[in-house]
Structure 1
Amino acid sequence: MALQIGDIVPNFTAKDNYGNDFDSKDYLGKKTLVIYFYPKNDTRVCTEQACSFRDNYEDFKALGAEVIGVSSDTIDSHQQFSEKHKLPFILLSDSSKKLRKLFGVPNDLLGLIPGRVTYFVDKNGMLLLVFNSMSGKIHIEKALEILKRM
């Protein structure tokens, strides 16, 4: 069952791009989160999306938000992708797809490609926005728009 606007995001764990344990309880209820799910490292649109989050990262930080990217790529792939594009935010490896299932991220293109969905979670852990679009750059605009309204 997909998370809906107004739901409290449950705690979750995963490995980050350096192989460290990530525990959402260190963030949920303490900090605004922009969690974006994307299909694959080093593909054109996914790279554009990650680099757009990178280029606007200081704006997110200034508005009190942390950006977290999630895909099913391996930890090594995330580390290489992060270093290659100088990404200042966390990437989580979801090879088991447990986070996709938890959030309810749908597949796109006849179910063949993992979906691209951004979730905006407020400081209290409440889901305020679910934005589903295969266009990567629009996700950054939508997340900044809602942050600026808060």
Structure 2
Amino acid sequence: MLPFQSKAPLFEFKNQHGEKLHLSKFIGRKIIVLYFYPKDFTPGCTAQACSFRDEYEEFVEHGAEVIGISGDSDDSHAQFSSRFNLPFHLATDVDGSIRRMYDVPTGFLGVFFSRITYIIDLNGNIAWAYKSNLAPKSHVPEALKVIKSIVQSPVK
């Protein structure tokens, strides 16, 4: 995982709606919740995505934007997002370049990537990181706690 207070690597991505976005678009405007997950439609990843969906309004109320990243195709992301009514961005990382930037290791049998959530503060720094492959839903309440503490602290 990347060290705390290091600059978050910037990248361009295409979301599930085919829009090209750049992470820099959010820096300074939103706290970014960047969560890496193994694969669309798997039980753990679906539970995690739906947990982010269910708490999305609270993230927004605290000035955060959620971006999920996996190696799935644009088409898979579009279907996943539509089927589960996901209101946040899903980024396609088929070649694994974003994962490498964020030091997300391979997990189970070297096939799937680990499940890591990063919080990027308004200054574009890594404010927090959390890894739990076996408790996908735990990422959401943990991320919310951190975001609430960031919002209560003045931005430097």
TM range (shorter): over 0.9
Deviates more, 1:30-39 or 1:14-23: 14-23
Q: Deviations over 1:57-99 (max 9, x none)?
A: 0000001000000000000100000000000000000001000
Q: Which residue of 1 aligns with 2:154?
A: none
Q: Which residue of 1 aligns with 2:32?
A: 33
Q: Deviations over 1:89-148 (max 9, x none)?
A: 000000010000000001112423211000001111110111111111110011001111
Asked whether the equivalents of residues 30 and 124 of structure 1 are also in contact (C-alpha less than 8 Å), the reply is no
Q: Which residue of 2 aligns with 1:70?
A: 69
The TM-score normalised by the length of structure 1 is 0.95
Q: Which residue of 2 aligns with 1:82?
A: 81
Q: Deviations over 1:25-56 (max 9, x none)?
A: 10123210000000000000000000000000
Q: Which residue of 2 aligns with 1:146?
A: 146
Q: How much is the aligned-residue C-alpha RMSD, in angstroms?
A: 1.0
CA distance in 2, matches of 1:110, 1:21: 32
Q: Secondary structure at the match of 2:24?
A: helix
Unaligned residue ranges in structure 2 (runs of 5+): 151-156
The TM-score normalised by the length of structure 2 is 0.92
CA distance in 2, matches of 1:77, 1:117: 20
Asked whether the equivalents of residues 9 and 102 of structure 2 are also in contact (C-alpha less than 8 Å), the reply is no
Q: Which residue of 2 aligns with 1:10?
A: 9
Letter of the aligned partner of 1:145 in structure 2?
K
Unaligned residue ranges in structure 1 (runs of 5+): none
Q: How many correspondences in the alignment?
A: 149
What are the residue-to-residue correspondences of 1:126-145 with 2, within 5 Å? 126-134=125-133, 135-145=135-145
Q: Larger strand proportion, structure 1 or 2? A: 1
Letter of the aligned partner of 2:70 in structure 1?
S
What are the residue-to-residue correspondences of 1:113-124 with 2, within 5 Å? 113-124=112-123
Asked whether the equivalents of residues 47 and 136 of structure 2 are also in contact (C-alpha less than 8 Å), the reply is yes
CA distance in 2, matches of 1:45, 1:10: 27
